[in-house]
Homo-oligomer: A and B are copies of this chain.
Amino acid sequence: MSVSKDGAAIASLVDGNVVGDPDIRVSGVASLADATSADVSFLGNPRYRDRVLPSRAAIVLVPESFTPLPPEGRAWVVCNDPSAAFSKVVSVFAPPPVQYPPGCHSAAVVHPDACVPSSVHVGPHAVIEAGATVGDRSVICAGTYVGESVRIGEDCLIYPNVTIRERCLLGNRVIVHPGTVIGSDGFGYESGPAGHTKIPQVGIVQIDDDVEIGAQVAVDRARFGRTWIQQGTKVDNLVQIAHNVIIGPHCFLIAQVGISGSTEVGTGVILAGQAGIAGHLHIGDRAIVMAQSGISKDVPAGKAVFGTPAMERRQFAKLQSHLKGLDHALKSLRQLQETVEDLKTRLDKES
């Protein structure tokens, strides 16, 4: 990286004010812990305040509430939201992003009946089957499989080694990270004395505009109809989305969440890491399911729930506090039993 900026330039970039020497120059970005004296860093989380002064970062983006002055040879840039501001700084120093030039690599296999405009990038060993269509400027990376009659919108970025099975639909600006599988069969069987007979899974997966799906995610196709992830929802790594699930717009599904069949998730819901949701449930708009929770009943809109089985967050906190006091309570109970026994004896004697 040959970019070099001084404190004044950084402050101008993030609409902030320099405290200390505005001429100090930086040529890279780093965390407070990793920074050298040629780096700019930031205080994004108050819990790291104590790392600002020991850091070697020449320039640190700080919020107004951070009052210590910079030592000789360093500077602060005071700004509104140091974390958001830092993204701008990072983009100046970041290495240029990978380019995906338009065109099909000679080692890709694109079926003659697929519709792939010339603005699309198709990487080596990618496969695009008959009847598939890819929108302008989309990128299909190396080793990715696009099944028959799949429709992918414009400006999508499908990373390497992704599998998208037949007839699934992706909107515009969808990002899919490596290794992810879209459209695998839902888990459905009729069980009888001879074993489990597969129920055909002939539906699809529909993924709307601006959805981002992490690495190693599995999204099962519907038994019929569609499994549906709506506009702007973001899915982290290693998430399981079963057949016929509907996820509303603008949700966050954090890593390793699992959602069972036919459950419907509302708008703006947050499912925190490793949470599990049973099938045929409804999770209301803006609900928050906290990490590792197990949901076996509907969650009303706006509620935050925690635990397995899950309860309202406040109720969970109260229960935890009771459990912490349980040792003491059981001792009190034993003492009380003795006291009562004692009283009884005295009363027996006296009467």
Could you tell me which A residues sit within 8 Å of B by CB distance? 29-31, 34, 45, 47, 84, 86-87, 90-91, 94-95, 97-98, 105, 107, 109, 123-125, 127, 141-143, 145, 147-149, 159-161, 163, 165-167, 175, 177-181, 184-185, 187, 189-190, 195-196, 198-200, 202, 210, 212, 214-218, 220, 223-226, 231-232, 234, 236-238, 240, 242, 244, 249-250, 252, 254-256, 258, 260, 273-274, 276, 278, 280, 291-292, 294, 296, 307-309, 318-320, 322-323, 325-327, 329-330, 332-333, 336-337, 339-340, 343-344, 346-347, 350-351
Contact = CB atoms under 8 A, between A and B. Distances in A.
Going nearest first, the 8 A-B pairs with the smallest beta carbon separation are A163-B178, A94-B202, A218-B237, A184-B215, A181-B215, A195-B232, A145-B160, A109-B124
A30 B224 contact: yes
A255 B240 contact: yes
A173 B231 CA distance: 38
Contacts of A189: 234, 252
Nearest to A177: B184
Contact of A143 (B125, B231, B292): B125
B179 A181 contact: yes
Contact of A309 (B320, B336, B346): B320
Interface of A: prevailing SS: loop
B329 A330 contact: yes
A47 B163 CA distance: 34
Given A218-B215, A224-B90, A330-B325, A178 B200 contact: no
Contacts of A31: 224-225, 244
Contacts of A249: 195
Contacts of A29: 224-225
Contacts of A98: 147-148, 166
Given A220-B237, A340-B343, 8 more contacts: A45-B280, A177-B185, A179-B216, A187-B214, A215-B218, A258-B273, A291-B296, A343-B347
Contacts of A179: 161, 163, 179-181, 216, 218
A178 B145 contact: yes
A127 B109 contact: no
Given A210-B195, A224-B31, A200 B347 contact: no
Nearest to A180: B179
